[in-house]
A = this chain, B = another copy of it.
């Protein structure tokens, strides 16, 4: 974007540090002092550039949300017509996977941050709905095209379950590593992803099929 050899601007240094720390300890678990210390800048600069702490938090979320949404929309646009269900799920989830795997450590932090926000009613409306509902609606519409006679509510619920599984996956909590005594590794996102896709596709298919009148069923099969 910016063609210059300055290592990183003060604003970006603050955003990076805030992202890392918020992801680790949550909004209330981090102070502006910790953030500016980590960023190597003076305390007062956080307020100067972003205003109050809550605005800094929103700025952290927004920075990557736009990029994520753009990539998701691009993948939706590139799908075959009609798309496959797995294609739709993949278009929604893959940008997160790719960023987390190859986008640098900031994206890993971001994934954990989104996980916290997704779970907390406190940020649901201001952050989740505001940033992600448009793309979510796009996904739902795509699935709807595959089961036109299915009650939409089933598809909303299916999306809700999908979100839960995705968030858990990208948060990389390490829980499954402990439970499986090391046989599974949360950090091997590529391996988890390869299982998540069929798991979610099967779940969505069953819900949709159950709610579709037999007379109007297409011969849909994996």
Contact of A173 among B124, B161, B162, B173 (CB under 8 A): B124
Inter-chain CA distance A176–B133, complex, in Å, is 9
Q: Does A178 contact B (CB under 8 A)?
A: yes
- On whether the beta carbons of A168 and B175 are closer than 8 Å, the reply is no
CA distance A124 to B119 in the complex (A): 16
**Could you tell me if B119 and A168 are in contact, using CB atoms closer than 8 angstroms?**
yes
Chain A, 1-37, CB within 8 A of any chain B CB: 24-29
Question: Would you call A133 and B178 a contact (CB within 8 A)?
Answer: yes
Contacts of A27 in B (CB 8 A): 26, 29
Is there contact, CB below 8 Å, between B207 and A205? Answer: no
Interchain CB contact under 8 A, A175 and B206:
no
The distance from the CB of A205 to the nearest CB of chain B, in whole angstroms, is 7
CB-CB under 8 A from A121, the residues of chain B are 112, 171-174
Known: A120-B116, A152-B183, A179-B137. A199 touches B206 (CB 8 A): yes
Within residues 168 to 202 of chain A, which ones have a CB less than 8 A from any CB in chain B?
168-169, 171-176, 178-180, 183-184, 192, 195-196, 198-202
Across the interface, name the chain B residue whose C-beta is closest to A29: B28
Residues in A lying within 8 Å of B, measured CB to CB:
24-29, 112, 115-116, 118-122, 124-125, 128-129, 133, 136-137, 140, 152-154, 156-169, 171-176, 178-180, 183-184, 192, 195-196, 198-207, 210, 222
